[in-house]
Amino acid sequence: MDKILVHGGRSLEGDVRIGGSKNSALPILAATLLTKEKCVIDRVPDLSDIHYMLTILGRLGAEVERASGVVQIRAEKIITEAPYEIVRKMRASVCVLGPLLGREKSAKVSLPGGCVIGDRPIDLHLKGFEALGAKVTVKGGDIILSADKLTGARINLRGRHGPTVLGTGNVMMAAVLAEGTTVIEGAAEEPEVIDLARDQMGLKLSASQLHAADGRVWLREHRGEFDVVSVIPDRIEAGTFLVAGAIAGKRVTITRTEPRHLEAVLTALRTAGFDLSLTSDSVTISPNGSRRPLHLETLPYPGFPTDMQAQFCAMLATMEGTSVVTETVFPQRFMHVAELKRMGATIDLDDHRATIHGVERLSGAPVMASDLRASAALVLAALPADGVTEINRVYHIDRGYEAIDEKLNGLGAHIERVKA
């Protein structure tokens, strides 16, 4: 098991290229189960979660080839059972339920694992499947779906804390091969959901509804014999490197990104006093000496993303004044706070709200990563800290960041990856 050593105090400067979106690639890969035809997906990031998904697809019978960010999949013959041993490491494995149900009218998939960031039930996924005509049984840790046929329906997928991103994609994938039209109300509007809908299934999309119709899968570029799907840039990786530039940078430019997907993050950084310069596919961040505290509230897209909350907590912990961060999407998602306090941060946690009293400087300390975004937050906090920060359980960070240590070193950081 690896750990990361961050030698703090170095300034960051330069350009960093953003990889393909993990949260877009995972459901796109699952959607290949909908067709017997060969599918080619480009710009697939090299992440452990992607590896797990490709392993699951292989165990379900798909032929999988991968080279240099391009994945080719042919799911000509598939089975419909994914046992616990292959889905336990990743919550997104649940998104194979939709395509298996849509294509084979049956599925048996173990309840998934993944990051522990609070209660994340899949009841809305199951509600959507039932509305399409499936019989749903949960027994012995397995989700069992069956249907004589699937019929389009009007389904509301809005939950207590907002829309369900994976649930919207999952129900879309089941509905694309159902008879008739499905309308999903309260659908998630994240760019990753829109990417799945528009580019992979030929669905018509409006702001609050997804209209699914029968049709071919795989649109977009055409290279020779096969249609090729290109994964959108990862907006959370982009936001993370912008915060790295804010917390320790002279001038940092992220390239091959989609600034329109980052509007809430960019607004927060501007409000906090950072200078931003945008092009159609890049963002440059520079400090201007007038940092200001923030009051942030996480919300479903296009609001401020919950997946950026931990990184902003790390930044605000070193900024003068008192900031307040309210988590409305996953109220229990504050396990990074205890580790930041080990580094000298002053944070008061009250239920789903963190009050952060900025300090002049943090100090390096041994810390433990609890989940994917918490891992990134600890790396960011360590960049300007005094001394060396030892971050353990960094397998979490490899789930969603491709070579984050190498990319930060390329900007001037001093980070080592060693065996624990």
Residues tagged active-site: 115
Strands 388-392, 2-7: pairing kind: antiparallel
Instruction: Tell me if 240 sits within 8 A of 273, measured CB to CB.
Output: no
Strands 162-163, 158-159: pairing kind: antiparallel
CB atoms under 10 Å from CB of 387, counted, come to: 14
First to last CA, the chain: 6
Q: Which amino acid is at 83?
A: P
| Strands in 60-170 per DSSP E | 63-67, 70-74, 81-82, 106-110, 135-139, 142-146, 154-156, 158-159, 162-163
Q: How far from the centroid of its chain's Cα atoms is residue 70's Cα?
A: 19
Farthest-apart Cα atoms in the chain, separation? 64
Dump the DSSP string for 60-74. TT-EEEEETTEEEEE
Q: Please give the DSSP secondary-structure letter assigned to residue 273.
A: T
CB atoms under 10 Å from CB of 148, counted, come to: 9
Q: How far from the centroid of its chain's Cα atoms is residue 17's Cα?
A: 17
CA-based torsion, 259, 44, 59, 83: positive or negative: negative
CA-based torsion, 336, 338, 340, 342: positive or negative: negative
Instruction: Tell me if 90 sits within 8 A of 82, measured CB to CB.
Output: no
| Strands in 35-128 per DSSP E | 38-42, 63-67, 70-74, 81-82, 106-110
- Cα gap 204→206, rounded to integer Å: 7
